[in-house]
């Protein structure tokens, strides 16, 4: 039987596996009075089943290795040594399992890990892990040997033959029939015309179909356009569209200007309309009467109904005075209290008080101011007056 050392090593690996299986399958001596532990029974059963699986895989590996040795002589010794190593691992696993049987028979019943002692549980877990690892390695070996026995056929193609996917082939066919219809490059020399323009020759090639179809579509669109706008009048013509767009633009400009009123300042301010003046009167009554009187006759502050102004009498000057104030003269800034549009309304109301001649008016203060046309200086050269009132 033992004609050479390789056959001897193979036989030893197989015998060690069979002996280990017999040792694992032998029943362990346990006290009759020991209670049944189902977790232990389950783990030992799984370990036994894995031993059977390892034994079956060992037989399969042995048979495949014989075939692989015939296919590849150089890998024979490596394969035999692998089987010996696997057999020793199998022996160690079975020995550990037998040791577990001894431990579970003698160890006291502790309530650890489902009724198993810590040592028993981890020993069984280690045996199961080792057996699973052996199964995994044997499957890998069997797979590798199977590839050696049945190698995949490699299809050699010519270097100039490149496989093209069906998508590319379909696109090329559609492009050739419907999109470009261009002649192949190798046939262009036969399609050149005799016309020569400074070395530029004309190629008698078909126009791309997409271009021709697009040109035909534009003709139909032109006919429909003419019928729609000039015959049926079912849509606005360019003049009507222009007028509509100009009206829309004017509305947008008006809306923008309306929204820009709050951005008014002392340079762009103008007199407010009647509604603005009325709103300014409300603001005046609320904040200005303590200093300027209920009718603008003056008090702590100057009279607002005469022609004399301390800081200018234009709407721009009055707006600036209300907005920034003159703290050194007792006039505070109101820009934190009122918005720009409210200051415009208040300044317009102050301007409307001129010439109202309220009773108990305070004496004129500041410089004489006369309203003049736009573009002229509105500040008179009259001398500055104090608090003296001139009466007839």
Residue among 343, 378, 372, 376 nearest 272 (CA): 343
pLDDT score recorded for residue 166? 83
Residue among 4, 143, 131 nearest 68 (CA): 143
CB contact at 8 A, 337 and 290: no
pLDDT score recorded for residue 114? 60
Q: What residues are paired with 299 via a beta bridge?
A: none
What is the Cα–Cα distance from 134 to 120, expressed in whole angstroms?
Answer: 21
Task: Give the global pTM.
Answer: 0.34
Could you tell me the CA-to-CA distances from 235 to 230, 232, 242, 316 in Å, in that order? 9, 8, 13, 50
Q: What are phi and psi of 284, to 5 degrees?
A: -65, -45
Residue whose pair of structure tokens reads 């691992």 in the numeric block = 89
pLDDT score recorded for residue 1? 39
pLDDT score recorded for residue 112? 54
Question: Which residue spans within the chain are E strands per DSSP?
Answer: 192-197, 200-203, 308-309, 367-368
| Tens-binned pLDDT, residue by residue, of the chain (392 aa) | 334 545 554 555 555 544 444 444 444 444 444 455 667 777 788 888 888 888 888 888 787 777 776 765 544 444 444 554 455 454 444 444 444 444 444 444 444 556 667 777 788 788 888 888 888 888 887 877 777 777 655 545 555 556 678 888 888 888 777 777 777 778 888 888 888 888 888 888 878 778 888 999 999 999 999 998 888 888 888 888 999 999 999 999 888 877 776 778 888 888 989 999 999 999 999 999 999 999 989 888 999 999 899 998 899 999 999 999 999 888 999 999 998 889 999 999 999 998 888 988 899 888 898 876 554 444 444 444 443 333 32
What is the Cα–Cα distance from 243 to 68, expressed in whole angstroms?
Answer: 92
CB contact at 8 A, 88 and 14: no
What is the Cα–Cα distance from 179 to 172, expressed in whole angstroms?
Answer: 10
220 Rama class: left (phi>0) / alpha (psi -120 to 50) / beta: alpha
CB contact at 8 A, 304 and 332: no
Q: What is the three-state SS of 253-301? A: HHHHHHHHHHHCCCCCCCCCCHHHHHHHHHHHHHHCHHHHCCCCCCCCC
Residue among 275, 284, 271, 268 nearest 338 (CA): 284
pLDDT score recorded for residue 31? 45
What is the Cα–Cα distance from 248 to 181, expressed in whole angstroms?
Answer: 49
pLDDT score recorded for residue 60? 80
């Amino acid at each position: 039987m033992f004609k050479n050392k390789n056959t001897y090593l193979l036989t030893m690996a197989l015998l060690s596996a069979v002996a280990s299986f017999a040792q694992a399958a032998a029943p362990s001596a346990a006290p009759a009075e020991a209670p049944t532990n189902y977790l232990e029974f389950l783990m030992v059963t799984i370990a036994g089943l894995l031993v059977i699986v390892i034994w079956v895989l060992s037989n399969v590996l042995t048979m495949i290795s014989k075939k692989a040795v015939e296919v590849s002589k150089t890998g024979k010794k490596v394969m035999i040594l692998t089987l010996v190593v696997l057999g020793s691992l199998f022996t160690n696993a079975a020995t550990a399992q037998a040791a577990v049987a001894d431990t579970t028979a003698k160890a006291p019943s502790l309530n650890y890990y489902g009724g198993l002692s810590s040592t028993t549980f981890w020993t069984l877990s280690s045996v199961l892990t080792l057996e699973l690892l052996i199964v995994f390695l044997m499957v890998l070996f069997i797979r590798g040997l199977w590839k050696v026995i049945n190698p995949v056929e490699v299809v050699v193609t010519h270097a100039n033959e490149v496989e093209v996917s069906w998508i590319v082939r379909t696109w090329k066919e559609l492009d050739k029939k419907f999109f470009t219809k261009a002649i192949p490059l190798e046939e262009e020399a036969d399609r050149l015309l005799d016309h020569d323009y400074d070395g530029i020759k004309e190629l008698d090639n078909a126009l791309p179909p997409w271009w021709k179809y697009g040109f035909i579509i534009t003709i139909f669109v032109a006919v429909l356009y003419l019928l729609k706008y000039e015959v049926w009048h079912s849509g606005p013509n360019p003049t009507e569209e222009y007028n509509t767009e100009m009206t829309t633009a004017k509305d947008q400009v008006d809306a923008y200007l309306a929204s820009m009123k709050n951005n008014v300042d002392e340079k762009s301010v103008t007199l407010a309309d009647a509604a603005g003046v009325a709103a300014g009167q409300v603001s005046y009554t609320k904040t200005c009467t303590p200093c300027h009187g209920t009718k603008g006759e003056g008090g702590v502050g100057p009279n607002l109904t005469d022609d004399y102004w301390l800081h200018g009498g234009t709407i721009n000057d009055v707006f600036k005075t209300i907005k920034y104030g003159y703290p050194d003269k007792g006039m505070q800034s109101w820009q934190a209290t009122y918005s720009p549009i409210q200051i415009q309304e208040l300044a317009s109301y102050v301007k409307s008080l001129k010439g109202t001649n309220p009773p108990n008016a305070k004496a004129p203060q500041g410089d004489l101011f006369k309203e003049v046309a736009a573009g002229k200086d509105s500040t008179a050269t009259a001398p500055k007056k104090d608090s003296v009132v001139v009466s007839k």
